[in-house]
Amino acid sequence: MRRAANRGSGKALARGRKGATSGRGRRRTARSRVRATSRVLVSTALLLGLLVVLAWLRGALVERLVQVIMVREGALDRVAGGRALVARRETVVLAPADGVLHWLVVTGERVRAGTVVAELGNPMAVEAALRDQALLEQRLAEAGAALAPLEQELAGLRERLAQAAGRLRSATIRGDAAEVAQREAELGSVLAQHASRQADRLRIESTIHGLKENLRAQQQLVQGLTVRVVSPVAGVLVRELDGLEQTVAPRQLSRLSSRQLMAFEPRPGAPEEGQTVRAATPLFKVVDSLEAYACLALPVRDVEQLEVSRSVNVRFPDIHDDVVRGQVYHLGERERNGLVLVVVKLEEAPDALAVRREVEVLLVLETYRGTVVPRRALLGRNGRTGVLVVVRNTARFQAVEVLGGDARQVVVTGLPAGTEVVLNPWLLREGSRIR
């Protein structure tokens, strides 16, 4: 009985211990759950806070990065162009004789018909002839210097003659034979002196006359040793020749192809000062600056709107920004290289074209007028093209119609001038705050 009671009490004690242990485990599990829930809540709160901060930072950053401009009305040109060769009426002048070249006119100077442009001579022969000419001029000056005092002496002798004649006349009137003989001797002496000096004068005058004749002959000799080269026509003088004067000429333009035009390579060169040239050597050319043609090869797509006699605006970007009026003079056939030869006759060619064979040319094919917008401001939305405009500090999509433009700008309709447009719309969504 006692052993049974002991066994019963032991079982009860074991059950009590087990229950106490289970209670403590349940309490620990509950606390763990509370801590885990707290950590989740804290993490969620931190994440939400971080998202809020990031959103705020993004908004602040976007606000700083967004670029806005006010668009204005304007015009843009659709252009086509490239390297062009300039054709003009050019008169090439050849050397009329052998000789050493001496330039008198510089390139770009306008000359009249008959203007002396250069001289051809033999420097050694000319130098010797000039030395002889200078010697004659010196002798002529010395003779002239000797004649001046002789003229003064003769004037004095003439006065003395008059005085001696007067004294002889007085002595004759008085009848004093001795005085008459004395006055006659005095007059004879003065007459002899005057005759001698008069002979000297005639000799010097003869020498001067001979020297002048010799000097004129010598001057003609010097001139004969130098050949003058004159301009046969009026125009702009160009000393540089490029070898294309006869090839790229107005009368030849309709026979050229774009392939030939692109193969032409100007080779400028000019006879230099002091160079010995042979007769018939090309020396210079005179350009008719009133008539000029620009010849260039363009892709077929760029010439679809062009036709012969159509007026077209022409720009020369490497010369100036002005627009020059022109007229389509010739359109070649489409060639295998996909290019077409285009020749434009210029109405008022820039003066710089008179001395240039190659030039950069832009033909204005079409002009678009409207509101000018940077191309990077455009975006697509549901199949429509538009821009983000600023309406009450908010980005709003505004559909536009693009008329045309270039790589940087376009002209649109449907957008009033003075509207604020976002330049980098990829940073925003419609409805985003901008300011």
360, 375 contact by CB (below 8 A)? no
CATH number reported for the structural domain that contains residue 374 in this entry: 2.40.420.20
User: Has residue 394 been placed in a domain?
Assistant: yes
| 360 and 343 part of one domain | yes
User: What letter does residue 251 receive in the DSSP assignment?
Assistant: G
Token pair for residue 38? 């707290």
What beta strand segments (E) does 132-253 contain?
226-230, 235-238
How many domains does the structure of the chain reveal?
3
Provide the whole-model pTM. 0.62
Residues paired with 91 in a beta bridge:
286
Beta bridge partners, 49, equal none
Domain co-membership, 400 together with 354: no
Tens of pLDDT along the chain (435 residues)?
444 444 555 554 445 554 545 555 555 666 666 666 766 666 776 666 666 545 444 554 455 688 999 999 999 999 999 999 999 999 999 999 999 999 999 999 999 999 999 999 887 787 888 899 999 999 999 999 999 899 999 999 999 999 989 998 998 988 888 888 998 999 899 999 999 999 999 999 999 999 999 999 998 888 778 899 999 999 999 999 999 999 999 999 999 999 999 999 999 899 999 999 999 999 999 999 888 999 999 999 999 889 999 999 999 998 888 899 999 999 999 999 999 999 999 998 888 888 999 999 999 999 999 999 999 999 999 999 999 999 998 999 999 999 999 889 999 999 999 999 999 998 888 888 886
Structure tokens at 366: 């079409």
What is the domain extent for residue 420?
68-75+370-427
Answer yes or no: are the C-beta atoms of 190 and 164 closer than 8 Å: yes
CB neighbours (10 Å) of residue 293?
23
Do 363 and 249 fall into the same domain?
yes
Domain end position, chosen among 322, 337, 367? 367
User: Does 188 map to a domain?
Assistant: yes
Q: Which residues pair with 81 in a beta bridge?
A: 362
Residues 397 and 361 in one domain: no
Q: Is residue 274 part of a domain?
A: no
Question: Which of 322, 350, 367 marks a domain boundary?
Answer: 367
In terms of domains, do 349 and 386 share one?
no
Tell whether 316 and 363 lie within a shared domain.
yes
**Same domain for 249 and 363?**
yes
Who contacts 230 (Cβ-Cβ below 8 Å, separation ≥6)? 114, 115, 116, 117
Domain for residue 323, yes or no? yes
SS3 249: coil
Residue 223 and residue 177 in one domain: yes
Residues 6+ apart with CB under 8 A from 335: 257, 258, 259
Residues 363, 393 within the same domain: no
**Tokens 């252009």, located at residue:** 79
State whether 252 and 344 are in the same domain.
Answer: yes
Q: The CATH number of the domain where 321 resides is what?
A: 2.40.30.170
